[in-house]
């Protein structure tokens, strides 16, 4: 039974979400501020945090940054005001796995929670056929360990959302993928016309992989989307 931590200073929202999530089979912890959040993380060992950006004793974005540095395995869904696009983008940059604008339907939150937990099921995936090791452009990717190694053996630090995006391309080498398809495949939801999260993640992924103008890893197709532009090898299959 997955443990979910709800962090929101609105007592009514905490109560509503706790009851609804418990009805969906989750164990639920709650916190009203940063201090309580840190205590619940230390004592309750949650699998995922639903974290409000605005808290009385600090920013949820600061908490997100700290958790990503010290507990990178902990999944985070940010709750933001519907029009706070900047917070959403910064949240993804700081390591959040998804975001949801307020007000929202609890059923949508449950769907997002389940999608994030499925995508980040952990090392046990290594036993499944889908969790083969990939090689591309000098990098080695182990989906089971969610780890990317550079040619010199150093680890490339990716956020959960960045890793999910890379994996989508590795599983579909050479295929042109639209922004709508990428958002659906990585986050299980339709794209808002103003949603820039895929472009932000692509930019960060390119930078972290050290892509240069004369050594393109991803190709951008105007009005089309993005495409992995290098060959992919995978264990047991040879060249892709």
Q: For domain 123-239, which CATH number applies: 1.10.3720.10, 1.10.10.10, 3.40.50.150, 1.10.20.60?
A: 1.10.10.10
pLDDT tens by residue, 207-220: 999 887 677 899 99
* Residue spans per domain, the chain: 3-119, 123-239
What kind of fold does domain 3-119 have according to CATH? Answer: Rossmann fold (3.40.50)
Least confident of 13-17, 53-57, 79-83: 79-83
Tokens 């060249």 found at: 239
For residues 26, 27, 32, 37, the Cα torsion angle rounded to the nearest 10 degrees is -110
pLDDT tens by residue, 192-205: 555 677 888 898 89
Phi first, then psi, for residue 100 (nearest 5°) are: -140, 130
pLDDT tens by residue, 112-139: 898 888 876 654 443 444 557 899 999 9
Q: Is 70 exposed, middle or buried (0-12, 13-18, 19+ CB in 10 A)?
A: exposed
pLDDT tens by residue, 149-176: 998 989 998 888 888 899 999 988 889 9
- Four-residue CA torsion sign, 180, 181, 185, 186: negative
């Amino acid at each position: 039974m997955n443990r979910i931590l709800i962090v929101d200073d609105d007592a009514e929202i905490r109560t509503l979400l706790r009851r609804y999530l418990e009805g969906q089979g989750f164990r639920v912890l709650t916190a009203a501020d940063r201090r309580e959040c840190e205590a619940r993380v230390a004592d309750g060992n949650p699998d995922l945090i639903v974290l409000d950006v605005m808290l009385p004793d600090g920013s949820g974005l600061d908490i997100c940054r700290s958790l990503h540095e010290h507990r990178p395995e902990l999944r985070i869904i940010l709750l933001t005001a519907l029009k706070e696009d900047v917070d959403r983008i910064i949240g993804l940059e700081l390591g959040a796995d998804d975001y949801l604008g307020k007000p929202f339907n609890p059923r949508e939150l449950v769907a997002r929670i389940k999608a994030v937990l499925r995508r980040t099921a952990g090392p046990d995936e290594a036993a499944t056929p889908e969790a083969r090791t990939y090689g591309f452009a000098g990098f080695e990717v182990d989906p089971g360990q969610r780890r990317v190694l550079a040619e010199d053996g150093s680890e490339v630090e990716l956020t959960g959302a960045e890793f999910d995006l890379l994996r989508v391309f590795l599983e579909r080498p050479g295929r042109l993928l639209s922004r709508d398809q990428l958002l659906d495949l990585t986050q299980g939801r339709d794209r808002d016309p103003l949603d820039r999260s895929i472009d932000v993640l692509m930019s960060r992924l390119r930078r972290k992989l050290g892509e240069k103008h004369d050594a393109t890893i991803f190709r951008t197709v105007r009005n089309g989307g993005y495409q992995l532009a290098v060959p992919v090898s995978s264990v047991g299959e040879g060249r892709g």
